[in-house]
Amino acid sequence: MIHSHGIGKTNGVPNRRPDDEDMTIALERPANTAPASPAPSRNAARIAAEKGVPVLDVVVPVHNEQAALADSVRGLHRHLSEQFPFTFRITIADNASVDATPVIAAGLAAEFAEVRVCRLEQKGRGRALHSVWADSDAPVLAYMDVDLSTDLAALLPLVAPLISGHSDVAIGTRLSRGSRVVRGPKREIISRCYNLILRSTLAARFSDAQCGFKAVRADVAHALLPHVEDTGWFFDTELLVLAERAGLRIHEVPVDWVDDPDSRVDIVATAIADLKGVARLLKGFGSGEIPVGAIAAQFGSGPRAAAPRSLLRQGVYFATVGIVSTIAYLVLFVALRGLLGAQGANLIALLVTAVANTAANRRFTFGVRGRAGVARHQFEGLVVFGIGLALTSGSLAVLHAVSEPARVVELVVLVGANLLATVVRFVLLRGWVFHPRRTAGVTD
């Protein structure tokens, strides 16, 4: 159940700002920009004016945030009042807090006419966003983390393409070259690994799924939300993947972001839940349980033309190419050993089969045709091959440095290292070398 209070003048006829009309005109869709769907979306500022509702509804999900809530909401309200040229609402989505958060939130709603509170009796950031976004009357919906780790100067660039109708979804990204991020190496590595997993398994093209700074047009949200199952941290990823598969346009904004040292996110539990979510989406797309075509049809478009080949099919092709490469390596090694010796034959056989392996995976596993990017693909393929070789050689070196192992132990370690190297090679080829974003226009 959701309890709401503190809804002020922004729920009735909003106090229009004198520059709303100017910004409405300035943010119209450029004539030479191709929309994501055949029918351009209407300007959100005009929709809001016609309905007498705020243009933007910013949701701040909270659970036991009594320490940060007041200062953060006041800072957000001050920024929107002074820097944001459209009418707005701030919705505090309280996820079953048991500290003083509900009392503080109610006080903020009484203090500011543009602030309201929604109380949910169950935890879950995804549940909070799903509930508030589904009920909101604003044409543009956004959310941000209560710690305000993202510089608010990025808020207008985030929502402007949605207001104009140019884009459907917008995300802040900490992984763009233009981003300025302050955080420890642990979170940086985890974030990049997670997004690599998304690219390699779901062929995601967006760069940062986890940044707590996103926005979506309300009509898009209302079409996607019924198909989003997750109620926790994977909610963002699921929404983005569905939007991308449905052919919607996702706008990215590089952000300035400072890590919150007081973050209470359970990294291990969140990572496990995210991996389960990825597996669920793979199953849903593979079985047809997720109706991507029907979702896309609601926007007058077709599913994304560059939707990836199925992971299973790619895995089968990859394994087949690997088996053929291994046989070719053995044949070359035997043929060259008498002439070059064991080490020389091994080196030449490995290099030749590595080049052939990359070429075969390029054509058959990932469906890339033509000569465009061949040199780059081969170079990156050798880098990936080197990483795999380092894993196997490194594991043996460590094993022999620790003790003089029995032959069976050595064999077990080598088999395990090779399995890991194979997985790493497939992930890097799918998520980096032959990722659809880097091979657009040359795939089957």
User: Which secondary-structure segment (H or E) carries 347?
Assistant: helix 311-360
Q: Which residues contact 338 (CB under 8 A, 6 or more apart)?
A: none
**Of 282, 371, 355, 370, nearest to 321 (Cα)?**
355
> What CA–CA distance (Å, rounded) separates 202 from 212?
21
Note whether 295 and 246 are within 8 A (CB): yes
Note whether 334 and 276 are within 8 A (CB): no
DSSP type of residue 16: -
Note whether 84 and 56 are within 8 A (CB): yes
* Catalytic-residue membership of 94: no
Q: What is the DSSP string of 403-426?
A: ----HHHHHHHHHHHHHHHHHHHH
Q: Which of 94, 208, 230, 236 is catalytic?
A: 236
* Per-residue tokens: 283: 């199953």
For residue 105, which phi and psi values (nearest 5 degrees)? -60, -45
* Per-residue tokens: 85: 């040229």
> What CA–CA distance (Å, rounded) separates 73 from 64?
15
DSSP type of residue 254: E
**Of 179, 296, 188, 192, nearest to 247 (Cα)?**
296
Residues marked active site are found at 236
